[in-house]
Amino acid sequence: MTTKLLDNRWDDAKAAGMSESERLLYRSNLLGSDKRITNYGGGNTSAKVEERDPLTGETVTVLWVKGSGGDVGTMKLDGFATLYQSKLEQLRGIYRGPEHEDEMVGLLSHCTFNLNPRASSIDTPLHAYLPYTHVDHMHPDAVIAIAATGRSRELTRDIYGEELGWLPWRRPGFQLGLDLSRFAAENPQARGVVLESHGLFTWGETAKDCYETTLRIINRAIEWFDGQLAGKPAFGGEKSPARDVAERRRVAARLMPEIRARIGVEERKIGHFDDSPAVLEFVGSNRLDELAALGTSCPDHFLRTKIRPLVLPYNGDLDVLVGGLDAAVEAYREGYRAYYERCRHDNSPAIRDPNAVIYLVPGVGMLSFAKDKATARIASEFYVNAINVMRGASGVDTYQGLPEQEAFDIEYWLLEEAKLQRMPKPKSLAGRIAFVTGGAGGIGRATAERLMSEGACVVLADIDAGALDAARADFAKRFGADQVRGVIANVTDEAAVAQAFEDAVTEFGGLDILVSNAGIASASPIEETTLEVWNRNIDILATGYFLVSREAFRLFRRQKLGGSIVFIASKNGLAASAGASAYCTAKAAEIHLARCLALEGAEAGIRVNTVNPDAVLRGSKIWSGEWREQRAASSKIGEEQLEEHYRQRSLLKRSVFPEDIAEAVYFLASDLSAKSTGNIMNVDAGNQISFTR
């Protein structure tokens, strides 16, 4: 099978009206739009552009180069750092040699053009000193596969002849910039360089020329590998065939909370599961153990994935897999601590989290864990890049990871540490996973929003497919698609509830918070209350709360990280109300269930609390139907007077909104209320009949 080559997507008509910096952005976005050209956040692009100097009015050459952080595929113009080329040239004169290269990083900001606040990346000198106007530095899997072989120099020459050079591994920085500059000066025919164990540099005199060179070089590598690997089984052939999809998901759902239990104590982690064909081929192969142990090679890969994954053997017996987890996790940590001790320098930063990021299970797939969902997903994508590299490299030669000391020096680079220290403090629910039933309704949606704004990942569960999809899409737009999932589940259906929890766990790796909120309301005198209405109230409000709580309890106990359950009951659960006995009774059952569960869960750190709303009209679907008419009729007022009626009925004379309920849920779900369980919080603007005692 031949791999599809990269398409040339340059559009002359589009590029014609652009300024040079806009054409640089256009090229960058085109390159970054295909992950085979460069991985997420990996690589950078530059152009040396003539600009008017705001200080002198003269024309000066300015280096536009992707700044620190960001992703070439999605960046905007403000993602570029801009530096006076003449000042960058002056830096060459004060450079004291490779052992002092880190001090040059601080000097880059002295070269800033036009007060641009974007910080320069460590790769800036790699672009600055190349005598070409346009430069691309990409991390294409197909070229890194060449760069990660034992014979990468010879292979580069065989495949590219004089068109591409080769430089031995060196950590990015000022010295590598000078090495590239010297290479280009000595080899004017070269259109680029392969950097051992790292990536590709290509250049050109125009933006289009540079773009096309980059594509041509990568396509040649893709074609070359296709020819070399044709007919050869990847990774030494299959050892553990992929299990069927249902089993793979079942294993992931059981395993992820168990892993989270072991690695999420100090800092909660979010999980990601990938059972794509590329992953299954690697984890099921004969050479899995051997190649996984060699570690990843491109620094971008292992900074995200740690140098090595943890392989968890699976023979079809889940209990055996879980039973071996303590020893496997501990052995990985021991290995990591030993690596730190072997490689550390006197001034190295303190050891970081020693747990694995990537977990490989033969026949099942790959699990990854990180402080948030995007980081876990991206780590997993990076390991797929590493798999692609290993497939190519090991198929044509010996694959080699980066030497351990070099890997350490990058991982614990003081500049890397400074970057970590500059990261903002995590939000209060970062790393937490919440399941919100009735998540597409008024209170559920406001609650999900509050939890997400504090960094939680949220699974919205509801029976209203349309509203659910709208809520999920809206949150994805505002908080990012990583942070939210929607699952259709009827809380009265035992199997559906179990399935919804399994889906949630496979998506995020576990659970910390359950908000049981799905509900309805009904009103009728007792004589007119049908058994159907009675049962519906009991089913959704009492049984539904029981079913989701039971599932959460099972999960919390396996996960051993405690948990918080918040019930949305009602004032009517405390205060009797004429003409609504089915609803009031079911709500009272919820409140009592919460207290029983608070007793039962305390020893496992599971807290259970209740929020009682009253008269939350805005945003509530309950208040748009029959209930609204009935309430208005029972108070002998018009429907439009209801809001004012409830305001005046309250002690504080204020309306209650979904956001008010959400705030109380946030308090009870978060560590702010770590010492509260079995509590009831009324959010009703004050109502004497619901005072607790």
C-alpha torsion angle, residues 39, 43, 48, 53 (rounded to 10): 100
Q: Please tell me whether residue 486 binds ligand NAD under the rule CB under 6 A.
A: no
Cβ closest to ligand NAD, residue 130 vs residue 511: 511
Interface with ligand NAD includes 438 (CB under 6 A)? yes
Does residue 467 bind ligand NAD (CB under 6 A)? yes
Q: x/- binding map, residues 538-577, to ligand NAD, per CB under 6 A?
A: --x---x-----------------------x-x-------
Sheet strands (E) in 164-293: 164-167, 192-195, 199-204, 270-274
| 175 touching ligand NAD, by CB under 6 A | no
What is the residue whose two structure tokens read 């949305």?
568
Residue 622 contacts ligand NAD per CB under 6 A = yes
Q: Which own/partner contact pairs does 239-244 have at CB distance under 8 Å and 24+ positions apart? A: 239/284, 239/285, 239/286, 239/288, 239/362, 240/283, 240/284, 240/314, 240/362, 240/363, 241/284, 241/363, 242/275, 242/280, 242/284, 242/363, 243/316, 243/363, 243/364
The CB-of-647 to ligand NAD minimum distance in angstroms stands at 13
Spatial CB neighbours of 431, under 8 Å, sequence gap ≥ 6: 264, 267, 268, 269, 270, 371, 372, 455
Residue type, 437: T
C-beta of 398 vs 530, nearer to ligand NAD: 530
Active-site positions read: 583
Nearer to ligand NAD, 380 or 492 (CB): 492
Q: With CB under 6 A as the contact rule, which of the stretches 9-17, 93-101, 460-468, 501-509 interacts with ligand NAD?
A: 460-468
Q: Which is nearer to ligand NAD, 205 or 626 (CB)?
A: 626
Contact region for ligand NAD (CB under 6 A) — 162-170, 195-203, 395-403, 490-498? Answer: 490-498
Report in angstroms how near the CB of residue 564 gets to ligand NAD at its nearest.
18
Binding of ligand NAD by 440 (CB under 6 A): yes
The residue from 520, 523, 561, 565 that contacts ligand NAD (CB under 6 A) is: 520
Taking CB under 6 A as the rule, which mask of x and - marks residues 143-162 in contact with ligand NAD?
--------------------
Least distance in angstroms from the C-beta of 547 to ligand NAD? 10
Closer residue to ligand NAD in complex, CB, 42/438: 438
Report how far residue 446's alpha carbon sits from residue 523's, in angstroms, rounded to the nearest whole number. 25
Q: How far apart are CA 456 and CA 291, in angstroms?
A: 35
Q: What's the number of CA atoms in the CB half-sphere (13 Å) around residue 397? A: 18
Distance CA 229, CA 323 (A): 39
**Tokens representing residue 570 in the block:** 């009602």
Buried b (16+ CB within 10 A) or exposed e, 500-532: bbbbbbbbbbbbbbbbbbbbbbbbbeeeebeee
Options 521, 598, 642, 665; binder of ligand NAD; rule CB under 6 A: 521
DSSP state, residue 235:
G
User: Helices marked H in 70-139 — which ranges?
Assistant: 85-94, 102-108, 124-128
Q: Tokens 């009935």 belong to which residue?
A: 630
How large is the angle between the packed helices 442-453 and 465-479, nearest 10 degrees? 20
Least CB distance to ligand NAD at residue 559 (A): 24
Q: Which of 492, 529, 537, 673 binds ligand NAD (CB under 6 A)?
A: 492
Give whichever of 120 and 517 is closer to ligand NAD, judged by the CB atom.
517
Q: Find the shortest distance in angstroms from Cβ 518 to ligand NAD.
A: 3
Q: Which of 47, 180, 613, 631 binds ligand NAD (CB under 6 A)?
A: 613
Nearest CB to ligand NAD, comparing residues 392 and 613: 613
The 8 Å CB, 24+ separation contacts for 177-182 are 177/124, 177/125, 177/126, 177/127, 177/128, 177/129, 178/92, 178/95, 178/125, 178/129, 180/126, 180/129, 180/130, 181/129, 181/130, 181/131
Contact assessment for residue 551 and residue 459, using Cβ atoms and an 8 Å cutoff: no
Complex with ligand NAD: residue 48 or 631, whichever CB lies closer: 631
Site of tokens 């001790």: 341
Residue 264 touches ligand NAD, criterion: CB under 6 A:
no
Residue 346 or 640 having the CB closest to ligand NAD:
640
Considering only residues 490, 537, 609, 610, which one is a binding residue for ligand NAD as defined by CB under 6 A?
Answer: 490
By CB under 6 A, is residue 616 in contact with ligand NAD?
yes
Nearest of 564, 588, 583 to residue 514 by alpha carbon = 564
Residues pairing with 65 in the sheet = 46, 81
Choice between 128 and 568, CB closer to ligand NAD: 568
Give 602-630 as a 3 state SS string. Answer: HHHCEEEEEEEECCCCCCCCHHHCHHHHH
Say how far apart CA 377 and CA 99 lie, in whole Å.
36
Which of 580, 615, 665, 681 contacts ligand NAD by CB under 6 A? 615
End-to-end CA distance of the chain: 73
User: In this chain, which stretch among 14-22, 80-88, 306-314, 489-497 interacts with ligand NAD, using CB under 6 A?
Assistant: 489-497
SS3 690: helix
What are the start-end ranges of the E strands in 336-471?
Answer: 358-361, 365-370, 433-437, 457-462
Work out whether 443 is an interface residue with ligand NAD (CB under 6 A).
yes
In the complex, least distance from residue 526 CB atom to ligand NAD, rounded to whole angstroms: 20
Q: Which stretch binds ligand NAD (CB under 6 A): 36-44, 312-320, 393-401, 459-467?
A: 459-467
Q: Which range, of 34-42, 271-279, 393-401, 436-444, touches ligand NAD by CB under 6 A?
A: 436-444
CA distances from 552 to 72, 258, 438, 637 (A): 41, 14, 16, 42
Q: What are the φ/ψ torsions at residue 617 (nearest 5 degrees)? A: -80, -40
Measured from the CB atom, the residue of 47 and 662 that comes closer to ligand NAD is: 662
Task: Closer to ligand NAD by CB, 60 or 538: give it.
Answer: 538
Q: Which stretch binds ligand NAD (CB under 6 A): 23-31, 504-512, 596-604, 612-620?
A: 612-620
Give the residue at shortest CB distance from ligand NAD: 441
Find the shortest distance in angstroms from Cβ 520 to ligand NAD: 6
Sorted by sequence, the CB contacts under 8 Å of residue 319 that are 6+ apart come out as none
- Interface with ligand NAD, residue 620, by CB under 6 A: yes
Q: Does 449 bind ligand NAD (CB under 6 A)?
A: no
Q: Which of 407, 463, 642, 668 binds ligand NAD (CB under 6 A)?
A: 463
**Exactly one of 328, 376, 514, 518 binds ligand NAD (CB under 6 A); which one?**
518
Q: Should residue 454 be labelled a site residue for ligand NAD when binding is judged by CB under 6 A? A: no
Report the candidate in 236, 244, 235, 273 with the shortest Cα–Cα distance to residue 256: 273
Stretch that binds ligand NAD, among 37-45, 343-351, 378-386, 607-615 (CB under 6 A): 607-615
**Interface with ligand NAD includes 102 (CB under 6 A)?**
no
Site of tokens 């990076």: 382
Contact assessment for residue 367 and residue 318, using Cβ atoms and an 8 Å cutoff: no
Show the beta-strand stretches assigned E in 129-188.
134-138, 164-167
Question: Binding residue for ligand NAD (CB under 6 A) from 72, 180, 312, 491?
Answer: 491
Q: By the criterion CB under 6 A, which residues form the site for ligand NAD?
A: 437-438, 440-444, 462-464, 467, 490-492, 517-521, 540, 544, 568, 570, 613-616, 620-623
